[in-house]
Structure 1
Amino acid sequence: MDYISYIRSKVGHDKVILTFAGGILSDSQGRVLMQLRGDKKTWAIPGGAMELGESSQETAEREFFEETGIRVEAVRFLNLYSNFEEIYPNGDKVQTVVALYEFKALEEPAIADFRNEETLKLRYFSKEEIASEVSISDKHRLMLTEYFDNSFAMGR
């Protein structure tokens, strides 16, 4: 049983604090890779929940691979985001703590045909496209704005 399933078996849909990690991979044009999520049908930075015994970097690299099929390595820690609340489509309530990394690909990214339960589609977005895309959460929009501005505020 994964950690979230274990916690949810104890608390149901009540609000809990959960730790997540994810990362940003950019292409040669400076666009960032995003996934169209299977659960929320919104565009997001690939990442996911930390399992017991993992570091945030291990979580970010594992989750990125699971959600994109691309093996990556973290090259820079960007920020920690801890002041966002979410309600998932199944009713689970969380306050998220998210460690965000910048990645480099360990292989040539092939995104055209990748799809699984968590990821309906992969696509690179420019800063301008992200600014006009309405189906991005406030949390991910903030992370991407800070990434493109290379200015990371503390206390998020």
Structure 2
Amino acid sequence: MDYISYIRSKVGQDKVILNFSGGILADSEGKILLQLRGDKKTWAIPGGAMELGESSVDTCKREFFEETGIQVEPLRFLNLYSNFEEIYPNGDKVQTIVFLYEVKAVGNIKIADFKNEETLKLGFCSQEEITQLDSVSTKHRLMLEEYFANQFEMGR
């Protein structure tokens, strides 16, 4: 049983704090890889929930691969985001703690046909294209703005 299923078996849909890790992957033109999420139908930075005994770096690598099919290595830690609350489509309530990394691909990047339950579509987007997407969460929009500005505010 994964950690989220275990916790939810104990607390139901009550609000809990969960740790997540994600990565920002840029191509040679500076465009950022985003995923169209299967659960919320929103564009997002690839990443996901930490399992018990797993480091934030290992979570980033595992979740990035699960959601994109791309193996990555973190290059640098960007920021920690801890002041966001969400309600998932199934009613689960969370306060998220997100470790965000800049990552590089290990090997080839093939995204054209990648799709699974978590990811409906993948695409590289420029900063301008991202600002025009209406289905990016406030949390992910902030992370991307800070990335493009290369200025990360503590305490988010």
Asked if these proteins are the same fold (TM beyond 0.5), I'd say yes
Compute the displacement of 1:43 (Å).
0.3
Compute the displacement of 1:132 (Å).
1.4
Residue number in structure 2 paired with 1:3: 3
Residue number in structure 2 paired with 1:104: 104
Matched, 1:132 2:132: yes
Look up the SS of the partner of 2:111 in the other structure: coil
TM-score, normalization by structure 2: 0.99
Residue number in structure 2 paired with 1:61: 61
Compute the displacement of 1:92 (Å).
0.1
Query: Matched residues, percent identical?
Result: 76
1:11-30 Cα distance to aligned partner (Å, 9 max, x none): 00000000000000000000
- C-alpha separation in 2, matches of 1:67 and 1:73: 15
- C-alpha separation in 2, matches of 1:40 and 1:50: 19
Please list, as runs of the form range in 1=range in 2, the aligned pairs for 1:42-57 lying within 5 A after superposition.
Answer: 42-57=42-57
Residue number in structure 1 paired with 2:121: 121
- C-alpha separation in 2, matches of 1:132 and 1:44: 14
Residue number in structure 1 paired with 2:73: 73
- C-alpha separation in 1, matches of 2:147 and 2:108: 22
Structure 1: 4+ residue segments shifted above 3 A? none
Residue number in structure 1 paired with 2:19: 19
Compute the displacement of 1:87 (Å).
0.2
**Runs of 5+ in structure 1 lacking a partner?**
none
**Runs of 5+ in structure 2 lacking a partner?**
none
Look up the SS of the partner of 1:10 in the other structure: helix
- C-alpha separation in 2, matches of 1:101 and 1:60: 8
Compute the displacement of 1:94 (Å).
0.2
- C-alpha separation in 2, matches of 1:52 and 1:37: 24
Look up the SS of the partner of 2:155 in the other structure: coil
Look up the SS of the partner of 1:112 in the other structure: coil
Matched, 1:147 2:147: yes
1:83-120 Cα distance to aligned partner (Å, 9 max, x none): 00000000000000000000000011000000000000
Length, aligned pairs only:
156
- C-alpha separation in 1, matches of 2:125 and 2:151: 19
1:19 partner letter: N
Compute the displacement of 1:62 (Å).
0.4
TM-score, normalization by structure 1: 0.99
